[in-house]
Structures are given as C-alpha cells and as structure tokens.
Structure 1
Amino acid sequence: MNRRRNAGIGLLAAMLSGVLVYGLFQLQKLQVTREETVEVVVAKQFMEAGRRLTEADVAYKRIPREGYVQEMLVDAKLAVGMETVIPLGTNEPILGWKIDKYHLLPTGMESTFQIPRDYVRSISNGIRAGDKVTVYLSGENEPSRRIFDSLVTVASVKSSSNVEIDNMKDPNLLSLAEGDKERMYASRRDANGMIEYINLNLTESQWLQIDGYCKDGLHKLVIAYSPESLSLEEEHT
C-alpha cells in the first residue's frame, strides 16, 4: 500500500516537475520572442483613403525587430480618430505619415458640399482630393473675380461613374504624404478620367454665396489648383 502511494507521489512529483520545466521553457521562449519582436499597430482589414479609423479598425501585431521602423505606431490610441491619407492593407503596420487628423473632413465651421455641375464653368484637371483650390466667379457681362479670399479644401473629385479620380498605380496622396513633388506631379498628369463631380469643404456663408450667385445661371464657378497649395503641402509634410 505504501509502495503504491509512494509510486503515485513520485509520479505526481515528476508530472509537476515536467509542468514546471515546460512553463519555464515557455516563459523563456516568450521573453526571447519579446526581445526579438516589436508590437506595432496594424489595420485589421483593407482601409480606403479618407477612412476615419475606429478602435474596431486597428489591432496589435508582433513583427521582427529588424523590420521595425520608427514611423510605425506602437499605441493604438494614436490611430483612433485619425483619417487615412492613403489606402492601408490588411495587417499592414500603420506609419505616422499614412494617417492625418481629419485630412479630408470639414472643420467645425464647415460642411462638405457637392457643387452642382451646372454651377461650374471649368475645373482644373490637376485637382485631387486634399488640395487647396482658388474659386473664381465668372459672369457673362462682367469681369471674373475671386469669390473667396481664402483657399478651399477639396474633399473629393469623381468621374461620371462616381469613381475617385487618381492614378491607382501611384496615388497622388501617397506622393503627397512622402513629400515627393515629382511623383505627385506625375500622378496628377497620368490620372485618367474627367472631373464630373467635385465636393468642397465650405462654411455655410460660402455655400450660400455660391448658391446665390449661380442658381440663376448668370454666373458660374472656375475652380483652379492654386500654387499657394504647394507651400501648404510642404508645411504638412
């Protein structure tokens, strides 16, 4: 009886010892893994440009330390509430320059207005989402003039098929975020599609001015890409 009990105790002690050794091994393995990897913030799924990130959109993922770069976010709180400047792939580490705070969204005093097509005389084909533009008023029997003193932010530009106009192989917003002026210019030049719809971030008074001038058909808008926009982009990057 004592032999059987001693054998049972010995077996239990051996099992506990094995569990302890295995536990220590796993702890050491975890420690080595943490030393060799870095936990970064990634997108849970594909995110198109202009998407505002929520807690449900981001997660943490460990990557090899040698693959880590300083621009990668390590705190999800820094991503939540921000807007994607360029598309993000599934499980792609989020870099600081790929997101911005309300990049294409209107400010607190603004709303996004789609400008009726019959209000527009011309739109510069080089205009892209995120640009700052100058808005001019053109009348039949009077000189054209600038309608607003300040530049206006473009929320989106779309073709007649309601597709955002850009060079999909080399998006303008990607070049803008990287501060590459040559690629940004090439992207605008090579983008396909005529601008059919344009959405501008305007204050209520700005929209009422546009509507008041253009609804009778006697005045139309000329929307031009402004050289002043480039200096603002350089400040942003």
Structure 2
Amino acid sequence: MNRRRQITISISAAVISGLLVYGVYLLQLRQIKLQQTIDVVAPKQFIETGTILSKDHLKVIQLPGRAVTPDMVRNLTETVGMETSVPLGGNEPLLKWKVDKYRLLPRTGESTFQIPREYVKSISNGIRAGDEIAVYLSDEAVPSKRLFADPIRVAGVKTAANLEIDNPKNPNLLSLANNDKEGMYASRRDANGTIDSINLNLTEEQWLLMDSACKGGTAKLVIAYQTSAIQKEGE
C-alpha cells in the first residue's frame, strides 16, 4: 500500500514539475516576444504638410513588438512619392493615414472647381497638375492683391482639345514623385499644348470669394506658378 502511495506521489510530483517547467517556458517565450523589436518607418525630422516624401526624409527605427500597431508604415519604399496630409514629427512612427498618394484629389473640405475662362486674365504656362499656385486679383478700380494667402493645389490643366497638358514621355507628376527637378523642368519645357482651362481644389469659402470677386466682370484672376515643395527642399 505504501509502495503504491509512493508511486502515486512520485507521478504527481513529476506531473506538477512538468507543468511548472512548461509554465516557465511559456512565460519566457512571452517575454521574448515582448522584447523583440520590429522595424517601422519614421521621419528623420519635422516635415511640413504637403511635402512630397523621398528616401532622404525617412529612416527605419525599431520598436518593441507590443508597441507596433497595424497603421504604422513598415516598408520605407511604399511611402516614397507620397504627400504628407498633416505635419510629421521627427522620429515618430509614420502612420498610414498621414500620407496620401492621390494628391490631385480634393482634400477634406475641398472640391474641384473648373475656373470659368471669363474669370481668368492670365495663367502661367508652366503650371501642371499637382502644382501649387498663387492666385491674384487684378481690378482696374482697386489695387491688385493676392486673393488667397495659402497656395492652391492644381487638379488639372487642359488644352482646348481637352487634353491634359504634360510631356507624355516625361510626366511631371512622375518627376515630382522621384524628386527629379531636372525632369520637372524638362516636362514643363516640352509640354504638349497651351493651357485653355484649369481645375483647382478649393474650399467652399475660397470658391465663393473667387466667384463674388469675378462675376461682375471687372476683376480678373492672375494665376501664377509657385515654387513647389520639392524645390523648397533643395534651397
């Protein structure tokens, strides 16, 4: 009887010991997973809204696995050529919602407006889709002035034949995404036509201000090409 009891006690002790060892193993495995680091993308320094991202803007940092969330960007190359929708803090993990690939589309609160020809006095012929422009108001009765303090994003520029103005062999947007100022210059020089119509991304307030200023017929718009974000980086 004592022998059977001893065997039972020994087996129980062995099982309990095995369970303790397995439990310690699971705890160690969990601790290792928590200590593992994962590569994520982060800006090297503060980046303003509207900046076209290049590899020079970004770096890879490591975070503990438990700190990484699904909306963090983990592949540096997937963000190159995208535009920042909000300011980015230096060394902060880059979140997917903070960058935008389709920058020709209107942002939140904006709509795309085709500007009536009769509103326009002149358009800089170097303007292309994706550019930022300055809009001025020219009126013989009052001093000329800048209509909007902030730059306006161009959604599209077309010829009289309704063709988007660009250099088909060297598209401006591709050069813009690749941080290629020489390519941008060439695409503007070798464009396929003269601007006949222009589409701008405006807020409702901006459009109403423009419409109110120009619908009387005396005031006209002067639309000028403004140095883009990609060129500011090189200055």
Does the 8 Å CA contact 2:81/2:176 hold for their aligned counterparts? no
1:126 aligns with 2:126: yes
Does the 8 Å CA contact 1:179/1:234 hold for their aligned counterparts? no
Does the 8 Å CA contact 1:176/1:233 hold for their aligned counterparts? no
In structure 1, what is the Cα distance between the partners aligned to 2:172 and 2:189? 10
Residue 141 of structure 1 and its aligned partner are, at CA, apart by 2.5
In structure 2, what is the Cα distance between the partners aligned to 1:176 and 1:109? 25
In structure 2, what is the Cα distance between the partners aligned to 1:135 and 1:194? 19
Secondary structure, in 3 states, of the residue corresponding to 1:108? coil
Q: 1:179 to 1:232 in 2, by over 3 A?
A: closer
CA RMSD of aligned residues (A): 2.1
Which residue is 1:81 aligned to? none
Which residue is 2:190 aligned to? 190
> CA offsets, 1:177-204, max 9 Å, x none?
1101011111111102111110000000
In structure 2, what is the Cα distance between the partners aligned to 1:210 and 1:197? 16
Residue 102 of structure 1 and its aligned partner are, at CA, apart by 2.9
In structure 1, what is the Cα distance between the partners aligned to 2:206 and 2:103? 20
In structure 2, what is the Cα distance between the partners aligned to 1:213 and 1:166? 30
Secondary structure, in 3 states, of the residue corresponding to 1:209? helix
Which residue is 1:112 aligned to? 112
Residue 216 of structure 1 and its aligned partner are, at CA, apart by 1.1
Q: 1:149 to 1:98 in 2, by over 3 A?
A: closer
Which residue is 1:161 aligned to? 161
Scaled by the length of structure 1, the TM-score of the pair is 0.56
Q: Where do residues 27-66 of structure 1 align in structure 2 (5 Å cutoff)?
A: none
Which residue is 2:206 aligned to? 206
In structure 1, what is the Cα distance between the partners aligned to 2:139 and 2:225? 20
Residue 97 of structure 1 and its aligned partner are, at CA, apart by 4.0
In structure 2, what is the Cα distance between the partners aligned to 1:119 and 1:191? 24
> CA offsets, 1:75-99, max 9 Å, x none?
xx99xxxxxxxxxxxxxxx965466
In structure 2, what is the Cα distance between the partners aligned to 1:98 and 1:108? 20
Residue 111 of structure 1 and its aligned partner are, at CA, apart by 0.5
In the alignment, residue 125 of structure 2 is paired with which amino acid?
A: N
Residue 160 of structure 1 and its aligned partner are, at CA, apart by 0.6
Scaled by the length of structure 2, the TM-score of the pair is 0.56
Query: Which of 196-205 and 140-149 deviates more?
Result: 140-149
Does the 8 Å CA contact 1:135/1:148 hold for their aligned counterparts? yes
In structure 1, what is the Cα distance between the partners aligned to 2:169 and 2:230? 25
Spell out structure 1 runs of 4+ moving beyond 2 A.
Answer: 94-102, 231-235
> CA offsets, 1:19-38, max 9 Å, x none?
xxxxxxxxxxxxxxxxxxxx
Query: Which of 141-150 and 217-226 deviates more?
Result: 141-150
Which residue is 1:90 aligned to? none
Q: Among the aligned pairs, what percent are the same residue?
A: 62
1:223 aligns with 2:223: yes
Which residue is 1:175 aligned to? 175
In structure 2, what is the Cα distance between the partners aligned to 1:174 and 1:234? 18
